[in-house]
Amino acid sequence: MPTVTTTATLADVTASDAALRRYLHGLPGVDAVGLEARAASLGTRSIKTTAKAYALDLALSMIDLTTLEGADTPGKVRSLCAKAARPDPSDRTAPRSAAVCVYPDMVGTAREALTAAGAPEVKVASVATAFPAGRAALPVKLADARDAVAAGADEIDMVIDRGAFLSGRYMAVFEEIRAVREVCARSEGEPAHLKVIFENGELATYDNIRRASWLAMLAGADFIKTSTGKTGVNATPANTLLMLEAVRDFRAATDTQVGVKPAGGIRTAKDAVKYLVLVAETVGADWLSPEWFRFGASSLLNDLLMQRQKLSTGRYSGPDYVTVD
């Protein structure tokens, strides 16, 4: 386990690009075969009846409902917010979503819609920093995040500069995360939480995912997130397991807890339960809440509602039981 233990050593690790590089490249190498085997093994666990009902509701409460398209309209965002506030209009016991995630220019619309729906506890998240590619100058990225925070975003999902990371310019990535974190600290009220997106498919190796996890956490990330959902490789059980191990070890080393968000490719209740098992077996009950674990998977909500209704009534609903996004 890495040995960052005090504020002083944290400062030492991030004192220079060379120190940060030494630290990140000194992290234990990832046993890819062992990691994938453990993820596959945990994926075979099954849960029944009462435990399954609990898992379905927990997964519902962890979803960040997302619309991130060029064709997004205020009407589409309002519709998504209505769904987050009342996932199943026929069943008031269905948990609300954790958040609605939109582009910065739609934050105000989302905030107004959730307030009107009587669901102010549903967070408004916003992607920023030239999402999804992250290819923009730092002032542009900071302006992007600043606009979202000013409009009332509770959470900022930023993408790292993968080009800088892959070329070994770790301090540039570290400083960019720190700069966005400063933007998240509002002059009034609670700061916006910062989720840092790696785009694991582009990082290519498990060692890079581990390094990115520690880099983001050292820079002050509140959450680490697998992917944008805009590439061919998104969340997988193995890369999520690796990130869960990283947040576990980071808390043991620094007494600071960081959340994890797998995003992209999680579409069924069965998938969601597998991820919840990963959380329970790797980091434990402390992370089994929307405060510390999220799903970036809008299409997942519909299957969870279908499975929830099947568990309650013994039969599947018709195809018009849930809305199609």
Q: Is 157 a catalytic residue?
A: yes
β-pairing verdict for 223-225 and 193-197: parallel
Please give the Cα distance from 301 to 288 (Å, whole number): 18
- Selecting among 123, 141, 261, 274, the annotated active-site residue is 261
Q: Is 76 a catalytic residue?
A: no
- Selecting among 83, 141, 195, 225, the annotated active-site residue is 225
- Selecting among 88, 154, 157, 303, the annotated active-site residue is 157
Per the CB < 8 A criterion, the answer to whether 216 and 247 are in contact is: no
Q: Is 72 a catalytic residue?
A: no
Task: Supply the residues annotated as catalytic.
Answer: 157, 225, 261
